[in-house]
Chains A and B, each alone.
Chain A
Amino acid sequence: MKGGAYVHYEVLRTLRNRRFLVFSLAFPLILYLSIAGAHRHILQNGIPFPVYYMTGMAAWGAMTSVISAGARISSERQVGWTRQLRITPLKTSTYFFAKILTGYMMAVISIVVLGLAGVTLGVHLGATGWLTMLGYLLVGLIPFAIMGIVLGHLVKPDSLGPAIGGITSLFALLGGVFGPLVTGGALFVVVKALPSYWLVQAGKSALEGAHVWTSEAWIVIVVWSVVLARLGVRVYRRDVPKG
């Protein structure tokens, strides 16, 4: 494959980016170890707190990873590097694929690191539990990966940090990453329409089984993905002439 080396170097660049490592890995990890570590014998909703909190932090770290990966397009656009690439034979699809792949790579690393941290705090899940969680998390991340690419086209590099921080925190908070926000009423209807709610449910599937990932989950993820992808195509077209 012609773009193979390009993807390889994108992976290298991602792993060398310390800021990226701090926000995607260290932040959720430190938060997890300090909060879950302090409450390791407490039960929440009948579930040991370290397990409960691990799934939430894994969802948050993974979400931040995939959004940040796509958002890196912003600075490559600003300095004109995307223009330079556009006159090489590199396919646009390979360019975006590399961004999404590196985002998923960081997301998986983030999930594994939090899993290991969970194990040190006594979290015990069977192989099925871990794999179910990982599988649904990867599905639930799709809209966020696309959102990253959209942000990379809409937000200037200067405002990217606050934008990503604000968006991930808001989605995380409303989705129940830090604990369930609401479980009934009108607001809950809104919350259940957010992809981050289902990302948290994907985490919960490790404990409660695959049934927490309902058909509603698929609908919300597909709708958000399609809408964001259309937006992505629109913002991308502003950069590139047709034909």
Chain B
Amino acid sequence: METVDRMGIRLTNLTKTYADVRAVRGINLSINPGETLALLGPNGAGKSTTIDMMLGLIRPNTGSVSLFGKTPAEAVQAGMICGMLQTGSLPEYLSIRELITMIASLYPDPLGVDEVLSHAGIQALADRPTLKLSGGQTQRVRMAIALVANSDLLVLDEPTAALDVEGRRDFWESIRAVAARGKTIIFATHYLEEADAYADRIVLMARGSIVADGPPTEIKARVGGRTIRCTLPQVSRTDVESVEGVASAEQRGDAFVIKCTDAATSDAALRALLVRFPTARDIEVRGAGLEEAFLDLTGEEESQ
């Protein structure tokens, strides 16, 4: 069992092309057992396609997936996987308790149904039909489906999409409990804050490739930057770059785009800029945002 566990998850040279869209372009990834990994990226980055290939729901054009030393189909059959996929409504004519009981019955070592219902915060709704639920409640039922299986690998595709603030908090609390039991968790998200707060490791995806892979602090430093845009008449780029807190600057005529690594340094840089260049105008400060950060990280590819 120990040796099987150590094998973890291996994605080797995975590619997937739909018609003429290269959704996933050669992904290599090793995930250790017990890791909580966030697949972070904007829409269309290839996160869902990667997850589908990992689960054996779609076949890669090239490459292979190994889950604890098994193929996806074998791991699914052995009940080693459970997940929360992006789906529409739940099956009709069942109560929530019946649905969760049915899913639990399929797995070799499920958790107690009542325990899971209360974790998911839906015990009071247990006897309600699956169709008479709000979006947030439905998402909580999906969460219960993923939790009750008590499988080795938990895969969550945009798990908090329909949840309100309280729902999100409850959700991540239960996921932390799952992680504490030594389970491997992989979740896809396009929220940097979520990946930062709950993952041990962030894999950043853009346009079907992995563009960064590391602990949250490292990824945050790379994508959490701020941009200051302003007009500085008769100032040179070297002058601007010498200001404290400025990481880099681009100049187009009098207009500057100034990059800073995070909020603290951009505040400092802005203060210093205003002191040194009192004529500065049209000032705009923006968080880089994921989209922009991805463009930065994949800039080389784009310019080809």
A242 to B: closest C-beta gap in Å? 7
B84-99 contact mask (Cβ, 8 Å, vs A): 1 or 0 = 0111111111100011
Bound CA–CA A129/B86 (angstroms): 52
- Return chain B residues, CB-CB under 8 Å to A4: 105
User: Contacts A76-B91, A84-B87: A243 and B73 contacting too (C-beta < 8 A)?
Assistant: yes
B33-71 contact mask (Cβ, 8 Å, vs A): 1 or 0 = 000000000000000000000011111000000000001
A9 and B86 form a contact (CB under 8 A): no
Is there a chain B Cβ closer than 8 Å to A234's Cβ?
no
Is there a chain B Cβ closer than 8 Å to A88's Cβ?
yes
Is there a chain B Cβ closer than 8 Å to A162's Cβ?
no
Chain B contact residues, majority secondary structure: loop
Interface size class of B (residues with CB under 8 A): 35 or more
Is there a chain A Cβ closer than 8 Å to B174's Cβ?
no
A81 and B94 form a contact (CB under 8 A): no
User: Contacts A80-B87, A87-B83: A5 and B102 contacting too (C-beta < 8 A)?
Assistant: yes
A89 and B102 form a contact (CB under 8 A): no
For window 135-180 of A, CB contacts with B under 8 Å fall at none
Could you name 29 residue pairs across A and B whose Cβ atoms are closer than 8 Å? A2-B105, A5-B101, A5-B105, A9-B99, A12-B98, A13-B91, A13-B94, A17-B92, A17-B93, A79-B88, A80-B88, A81-B87, A81-B91, A83-B85, A84-B87, A86-B56, A86-B76, A87-B56, A87-B57, A87-B85, A88-B106, A88-B107, A89-B106, A241-B57, A241-B58, A241-B59, A242-B59, A243-B59, A243-B73
Is there a chain A Cβ closer than 8 Å to B82's Cβ?
yes
> Could you tell me which B residues sit within 8 Å of A by CB distance?
55-59, 71, 73, 76-79, 81-83, 85-94, 98-99, 101-103, 105-108, 145, 149, 155
A64-101 contact mask (Cβ, 8 Å, vs B): 1 or 0 = 00000000000010111101101111100000000000
B17 to A: closest C-beta gap in Å? 14
- Return chain B residues, CB-CB under 8 Å to A80: 85-88
- Return chain B residues, CB-CB under 8 Å to A87: 55-57, 76, 81-83, 85, 155
- Return chain B residues, CB-CB under 8 Å to A211: none
B57 and A83 form a contact (CB under 8 A): yes
B87 and A79 form a contact (CB under 8 A): yes
Bound CA–CA A80/B88 (angstroms): 6
Known: A84-B83, A89-B76; 16 extra A-B contacts, CB below 8 A, are A2-B106, A5-B101, A9-B102, A79-B87, A79-B88, A79-B89, A80-B85, A80-B87, A87-B83, A88-B76, A88-B103, A89-B79, A89-B106, A89-B107, A241-B56, A241-B59
- Return chain A residues, CB-CB under 8 Å to B102: 5-6, 9
Bound CA–CA A21/B147 (angstroms): 34
Q: Which residue of B lies closest to A79 (CB)?
A: B88
Which 10 residue pairs are nearest across A and B when measured between Cβ atoms?
A: A80-B87, A241-B59, A79-B88, A5-B105, A16-B93, A13-B93, A89-B79, A9-B102, A88-B106, A79-B89
A102 to B: closest C-beta gap in Å? 11
Q: Which residue of B lies closest to A91 (CB)?
A: B77
A89 and B145 form a contact (CB under 8 A): no
B168 to A: closest C-beta gap in Å? 21
Q: Which residue of B lies closest to A18 (CB)?
A: B93
Query: Which one of A2, A9, A84 has the greatest number of beta carbons of chain B within 10 Å?
Result: A84
B276 to A: closest C-beta gap in Å? 57
A13 and B92 form a contact (CB under 8 A): yes
B301 to A: closest C-beta gap in Å? 28
Q: Which residue of B lies closest to A88 (CB)?
A: B106
Bound CA–CA A243/B76 (angstroms): 12
Is there a chain B Cβ closer than 8 Å to A3's Cβ?
yes
Bound CA–CA A80/B78 (angstroms): 22
A115-148 contact mask (Cβ, 8 Å, vs B): 1 or 0 = 0000000000000000000000000000000000
Bound CA–CA A89/B101 (angstroms): 14
- Return chain B residues, CB-CB under 8 Å to A5: 101-102, 105-106
Bound CA–CA A5/B98 (angstroms): 10
Q: Which residue of A lies closest to B55 (CB)?
A: A87
A90 and B90 form a contact (CB under 8 A): no
B57 and A12 form a contact (CB under 8 A): no
- Return chain B residues, CB-CB under 8 Å to A84: 83, 85, 87, 145
- Return chain A residues, CB-CB under 8 Å to B83: 84, 87
